[in-house]
DNA sequence: CAGTGGTCTAGACCACCAT
DNA sequence: TGGTGGTCTAGACCACTGT
């Protein structure tokens, strides 16, 4: 005897309709009132069922409009290749990738000098609280909030690359700028985690309940020394990361493809 | 004038207490009744606030016990190295890793022969619906559900490696078994995504609302031919993945460390 | 047993969106 | 203006956990 609570019956029925295509991506879900009649439940019970589907990331709601089935178009991010310093680029790596996918990139940008958090200090191998330069991007694709990216540079690097701490954008990309100033990154360490967004992140990325974020932390090394730590927060419903791993010796991973 | 709804005020106050350590990991959150008095709200409003924190992954509830602040111990998974075929192992790679961390591994296991799903077929480069062998693991660490792993092998591989389709475990690990039968994997393609768990996944991994899963899909190639596709579903609150990426040519990624 | 959360109802008022 | 979801209340009964 499966004694399911009523709100689960509502959610299960709608979930089935979403999965079998009766409610395709983008479709409107029956209104709370309709569900009250159909399942003979109170409004709050119908809402509980809908809320469950929201927290599963299947639907979302907006006031005055109703509930809608999520449409998930995902963007693939190949993280295993180094930025190719020879390959022609149109601005930074992000803009290049988005444009080559036929989409329109947009980003806001700011620079701050501030004490490094514990996590960042550990990765940059500096004392916690030591000064670091933060370069922060808020990125959009076709005006949809896509990701935030915070890159921290240790203070000692600024004397060799002063533009890091200046407010303006670096058109050619900071990786190229650093390489031109003699700091070439030859090793990356990537960490990937997931969690629900903080309220701040939910605001910046315009995601509601039910959409997790992907946290991508990349530490770049020049020789044995870490020279930057980039924390990227990606909308989990729109992004997927790829890595190609090769067991062949003597092969560069830097070929354009 | 920030006109926050009451349930958000409740959630914000508790979130602050969690973040500043007044409510440390593992601590009991004040009961719904206490919150009703403290914030002068109805029980449902207090519950809404608590529900919000649950969906953010900060707390969880259980009947009769109360709400508890999540304690997050994370396990790091280094995915960038190949399984070392020479290095002595104690069973498969998972058991070896868990034991070497001083934890107790446990897994249940089953084998099925079934038509490949569209996603799997694409990665194995076989026709959708073609027969594939599924080897499925449900893995625990110290009796906590940790991950599920489904590995699919194309049917043509079974004639060279018949034990793949047999019910029993392969003690030395399937990668070694395949290598011993002449199929050495020399390239991996990894895809990493995140989303909220399906009800089935939530049951297997024993996660409630507010904990996303990390989906790790690894396709292994022998030459140009895909020989397996492994889909691992990891609890997002307990796992982090790492990749080391090296720009040096002529260096094996297969050294033990 | 007392205290906890889980489910459910009926009703109210408000804010937003389309027409 | 009517329909949608968002917030909030007061009260009821049930199921689970500890002592």
A80 to B243: CB separation less than 8 angstroms, yes or no: yes
Domain membership of residue A252 (yes or no) is: no
Q: Could you say which of B69, B96, B117 is where a domain stops? A: B69
The answer to whether residue B254 is domain-embedded is no
Return the CATH number at A94: 3.40.1410.10
Same domain assignment for residues A46 and A168: no
Question: Are residues A106 and A174 both part of a single domain?
Answer: yes
What does the pLDDT read at residue B2?
55
CA of B32 to C1' of C1 (A): 20
Let me know whether B126 and B228 are in one domain: yes
Query: Number of folded domains in chain A?
Result: 2
Shared domain for A86 and A183, answered yes or no, is yes
pLDDT at A118 over 50: yes
Q: B189, B200, B244, B247: which to substitute to probe chain A, counting the most A Cβ within 10 Å? A: B247
A/B interface, count of CB pairs below 8 Å: 147
How far apart are the CA of B217 and the nearest CA of chain A, in angstroms?
A: 9
Same domain, B181 and B231: yes
- The answer to whether residue A100 is domain-embedded is yes
Q: Residue A257 falls within a domain, yes or no?
A: no
Residue-number span of the structural domain to which A14 is assigned? 6-69
Residues B236 and B208 in one domain: yes
Q: Are residues B217 and B189 in the same domain?
A: yes
Between A186 and A215, name the one with better pLDDT: A215
Please report the residues numbered 164 through 193 in chain B whose beta carbons come closer than 8 angstroms to any beta carbon of chain A. 185-193
- Specify whether A102 is located in the same domain as A28: no
Q: Read off the pLDDT of residues A180-210 as tens digits, 9 standing for 90 and up.
A: 888 889 889 999 999 999 999 998 998 888 8
Question: Both A59 and A80 in a single domain?
Answer: no
Same domain as A118, residue A230: yes
Which pLDDT belongs to residue B90? 58
Residues B89 and B37 in one domain: no
Query: Å between B41 CA and D8 C1'?
Result: 9
Beta carbons of A195 and B246 less than 8 Å apart: no
pLDDT at res. A169: 80
| CATH number of domain containing A64 | 1.10.10.10
Indicate the residue among B69, B91, B112 that finishes a domain.
B69
Residue B249, pLDDT above cutoff 70: no
In a domain, B255, yes or no: no
Please report which confidence band the pLDDT of residue B254 belongs to, taking 50, 70 and 90 as the band edges.
Answer: very low
Query: Do residue A48 and residue A123 come from a single domain?
Result: no
Least confidently predicted of A90-94, B101-105, B183-187: A90-94
pLDDT band at residue B84 using 50, 70 and 90 as cut-offs: low
User: For position A88, what pLDDT does the model report?
Assistant: 54
pLDDT > 80? residue B79: yes
For chain B, the three-class secondary structure string (H helix, E strand, C coil) is: CCCCCHHHHHHHHHHHHHHCCCCCCCCECCCHHHHHHHHCCCHHHHHHHHHHHHHCCCEEEECCCEEEECCCCCEEEECCCCCCCCCCCCCCHHHHHHHHCCCCEEEEEEEEEEECCHHHHHHHCCCCCCEEEEEEEEEEECCEEEEEEEEEEEHHHCCCCHHHHCCCCCCCCHHHHHHHCCCCCCEEEEEEEEECCCHHHHHHHCCCCCCCEEEEEEEEEECCEEEEEEEEEEECCCEEEEEEEECCCCCCCCCCC
In a domain, residue B80? The reply is: yes
């Amino acid at each position: 005897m499966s004694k399911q609570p009523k709100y689960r019956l509502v959610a299960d029925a709608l979930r089935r309709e979403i999965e079998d295509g009766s409610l395709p991506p983008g479709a409107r879900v029956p209104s709370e009132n309709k569900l009250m009649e159909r399942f003979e439940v109170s409004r709050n019970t119908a809402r509980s069922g809908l809320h469950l589907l929201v927290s599963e990331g299947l639907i979302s709601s907006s006031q005055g409009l109703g509930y809608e089935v999520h449409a998930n178009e995902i963007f693939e991010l190949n993280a295993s290749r180094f930025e190719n310093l020879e390959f022609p680029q149109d601005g930074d790596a992000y803009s290049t990738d988005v444009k080559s996918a036929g989409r329109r990139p947009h980003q806001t940008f700011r620079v701050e000098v501030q004490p490094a958090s514990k996590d960042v200090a550990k990765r940059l191998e500096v004392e916690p609280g030591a000064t670091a330069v933060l370069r922060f991007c808020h990125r959009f694709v076709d005006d949809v909030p896509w990701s935030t990216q915070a890159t921290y540079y240790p203070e000692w690097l600024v004397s060799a690359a002063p533009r890091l701490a200046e407010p303006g954008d670096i058109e050619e990309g900071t990786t190229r700028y650093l390489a031109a100033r003699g700091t070439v990154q030859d090793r990356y360490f990537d960490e990937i985690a997931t969690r629900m967004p903080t309220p701040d992140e939910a605001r910046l990325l315009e995601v509601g309940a039910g959409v997790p974020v992907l946290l991508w932390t990349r530490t770049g090394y020049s020789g044995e020394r870490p020279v930057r730590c980039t924390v990227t927060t990606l909308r989990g419903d729109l992004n997927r990361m790829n890595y190609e791993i090769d067991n062949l010796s003597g092969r560069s991973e830097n070929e354009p493809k």
